[in-house]
Structure 1
Amino acid sequence: MSGHSKWNNIKRKKEKTDGQKAKIFTKIGRELAMAVREGGSGDPAVNSRLKDAIAKAKANNVPNDNIDRIIKKASGEGNSDAYEAIQYEGYGPSGVAVIVETLTDNRNRTAGDLRHYFDKFGGNLGTTGCVSFMFQKKGVIVIEAEGLDEDEVMEAALEAGASDFQSDGDVFEIFTEPEDFSAIRDELAGKYTFVSADVEQVPDTYTAITDPDLIVKMGRLLEMLEDNDDVQSVWHNWENADDAE
């Protein structure tokens, strides 16, 4: 998910099957558990990371019962689920920059899987820092434009503290500094329904792929990465990602 391809990726994800939705629930469950452990509390009122994770879970239609059960389990004594957050970086076909954020209980398994995917589809897994300098962390809130006045939404976003606002006709994209994301999201949530709201890795520049075979390979690489249970998020600077839809 990134830049010009953001909305196309959202539309594709909305059409996922029930089996794929179960994978999303699994990934968000890990994120909730990690937030409880690292934030030191199962109370979102005092654990801002957990508050953000709960908001993300609800945006992805995770049932409240599931959320509560995961938080209680993660808060309990003797919880053995110990996930580690590891970021991997690499290049896809035509030098497309790719960042993969993972939560894993076995770093050797995860690294082996990711290396296999990159190799199989014409890319290569690189070293830490090889592409992350080409991205900036930003809060990104996406709102469907239909029925809304662009000037009013932009004014509300900027008044809430947003750093930038863009419109592509279908959606409004609101950008924030990472540290301001939660407060701005909470303020706008009372006024608008979000398509998505998350802190993302936004690329500074984009790479286009013109070879049809490489377009297919890049699309398959992203699919394999996103289908892996250890992978939480995949960010890239592929300009024409919508060609693979």
Structure 2
Amino acid sequence: MSGHSKWKNIMHKKEKSDAQRAKIFTKIGREIAVVVKQGGADPNSNSKLYDLIVKAKANNVPNDNIDRIIKKAAGGQEKDDYEDIVYEGYGPCGVAVVVQTLTDNRNRTAGDLRHYFDKFGGNLGQTGCVGWMFQEKGVIVLEKASVNEDKLMEDCLEAGAVDFNSDEEVFEVFTDPSELPGVRGALSQKGYEFLSAQEERIPANYVRIDGEDDRKKMENLLDALEDDDDVQNVWHNWENDE
């Protein structure tokens, strides 16, 4: 499975400024608060919380911050009620874009997203307009430097993974969404440590952008979406070779 660029985006985020890192902490904290409300504060019985803690640590969120967020949500001190809303649209040159948000004000979020798409040569569409171009999969990411590829592939097949990808910096293990906790648990028992383990949307095909102006607009659109506090994940089918 080639062209999957989600982790590259995460790696780039880690290199950004303190203010942008703080924004990442806020986004992950919001996710943690929601899953604690839904499934409890024990990561051993709440697999989504476990995976978010892994994600938080990979993004250098301090342990004290993670513990504080969990305790606040478990104690009912988190007053905001967030909705999980997915938006779909087109970027320049027909690039398909899917945006997952957690928002306490859907009117504000929809208005902001529409502004970003309009400003950078795209348009926000109706639900379902591009979602059919993506397949939902569980994705487990491991740092390449510390893992033996042949052994990992063998262990992944044994655990029930459906696909495997070797990138420049990481290995990506793909599962059916319902099998993600089981595969992650089996690999964890074998001593593997993860950079990320979560459900993602993988495009069936990719679109190239040849014009420099359109490429810049697409970059600006993705930056605007990623910088919005309500946006948790952005998936797209832009084949960016850079």
Same fold by TM-score greater than 0.5 = yes
How far the C-alpha of 1:150 sits from its partner, in A, is 2.3
Counterpart position of 1:68: 67
Counterpart position of 1:210: 210
Q: 1:1-245 maps to which residues of 2 (within 5 A)?
A: 3-39=3-39, 41-77=40-76, 79-146=78-145, 148-189=147-188, 190-240=190-240, 242-243=241-242
More deviation, 44-53/117-126 = 44-53
- Does the 8 Å CA contact 2:140/2:172 hold for their aligned counterparts? yes
Whole-Å Cα distance in 2 between the matches of residues 195 and 30 of structure 1?
19
Q: Deviations over 1:182-209 (max 9, x none)?
A: 2222332453343433211111111111
**Which amino acid counterpart does residue 5 of structure 1 have in structure 2?**
S
**Which amino acid counterpart does residue 174 of structure 2 have in structure 1?**
F
How far the C-alpha of 1:222 sits from its partner, in A, is 0.2
**Which amino acid counterpart does residue 202 of structure 1 have in structure 2?**
I
Q: Deviations over 1:39-87 (max 9, x none)?
A: 2x22233333323322322222222211121112112246421111111
How far the C-alpha of 1:4 sits from its partner, in A, is 3.9
Whole-Å Cα distance in 1 between the matches of residues 43 and 8 of structure 2?
32
More deviation, 134-143/43-52 = 43-52
Aligned pair in 2 of structure 1 residues 50, 192: CA closer, same or farther (>3 Å)? closer
Whole-Å Cα distance in 2 between the matches of residues 222 and 53 of structure 1?
22
Please give the secondary structure, in 2, of the residue aligned with 1:182. Answer: helix
Q: Normalization by structure 1: what TM-score? A: 0.90
Whole-Å Cα distance in 2 between the matches of residues 173 and 51 of structure 1?
18
Whole-Å Cα distance in 2 between the matches of residues 114 and 167 of structure 1?
33
Percent of matched pairs sharing the same residue:
65
- Does the 8 Å CA contact 1:3/1:202 hold for their aligned counterparts? no
How far the C-alpha of 1:170 sits from its partner, in A, is 4.0
Whole-Å Cα distance in 1 between the matches of residues 168 and 28 of structure 2?
30
Whole-Å Cα distance in 2 between the matches of residues 139 and 132 of structure 1?
16
Please give the secondary structure, in 1, of the residue aligned with 2:145. Answer: coil
Whole-Å Cα distance in 1 between the matches of residues 46 and 164 of structure 2?
28
Whole-Å Cα distance in 2 between the matches of residues 164 and 49 of structure 1?
21
**Which amino acid counterpart does residue 220 of structure 1 have in structure 2?**
N
Unmatched segments (≥5 aa) in structure 1:
none
Q: Deviations over 1:10-67 (max 9, x none)?
A: 432231211111001100111011112222x222333333233223222222222111
Aligned pair in 2 of structure 1 residues 15, 92: CA closer, same or farther (>3 Å)? same
How far the C-alpha of 1:224 sits from its partner, in A, is 0.3
- Does the 8 Å CA contact 1:209/1:215 hold for their aligned counterparts? yes
Q: Normalization by structure 2: what TM-score? A: 0.91
Aligned pair in 2 of structure 1 residues 128, 221: CA closer, same or farther (>3 Å)? same
More deviation, 170-179/130-139 = 170-179
Whole-Å Cα distance in 1 between the matches of residues 112 and 30 of structure 2?
19
- Does the 8 Å CA contact 1:144/1:195 hold for their aligned counterparts? yes
- Does the 8 Å CA contact 1:87/1:102 hold for their aligned counterparts? yes
Unmatched segments (≥5 aa) in structure 2:
none
Runs of at least 4 residues off by over 6 Å: none
**Which amino acid counterpart does residue 54 of structure 2 have in structure 1?**
A
Calculate the aligned-residue CA RMSD, in Å.
2.0
